[in-house]
Amino acid sequence: MSIYNSEVSKANPYYISKHRYYELKHFCLQYPEFKRKYNNLCEKIPGGIIHVKSDDVLYTDESIKVRQEYLDQMDLIRECCDMTDPVIGDYIFKAVTQGLTYTYFRMHDGIPCGRDMFYTLYRRFFYILDQKKKDIA
């Protein structure tokens, strides 16, 4: 069961198309992968080469560029969470990067808002992310 009704009314202030939502959702779920790859690029070996655990070797200039791309992607997700709501932003971050639901937060973390507010902010996050990614492109 999806935690987000992908069929949101076009009258909703945070409307984005169903397929754009899925694209953004899958982008966010890659956060742990971005972080892992970013951290892997930090491991230096002799000779000025940065070694990636997948046995791919990138030279320093290219590694710096790739590393910055991962950092920018992670920063974008975090920034959009912070813009969504200063209190609930951390919950939104966990929801979009780990696939956690309101029910999980209610049972484990004592989230300080109701279900409707949480999912309104969840939609707002994806709307903000959509706008930010359009600005970047």
Q: What is the mean pLDDT of the chain?
A: 86
Dihedral angle sign, alpha carbons of residues 104, 95, 66, 76 = negative
Largest Cα span, the chain: 58
Task: Give the CA radius of gyration of the chain.
Answer: 17
The reply to whether 8 falls in a domain is no
Domain span at residue 93? 18-132
Q: How many domains does the chain have?
A: 1
- Verdict on whether the full-model pTM lies above 0.85: no
pLDDT digits (tens, 9 = 90+) for 111-132: 999 999 999 999 999 999 999 9
The reply to whether 102 falls in a domain is yes
Per-residue burial over 37-68, b = 16 or more CB atoms within 10 Å of its CB, e = otherwise: bbebbeeeeeeeebbeeeeeebeeeebeebbe
The reply to whether 7 falls in a domain is no
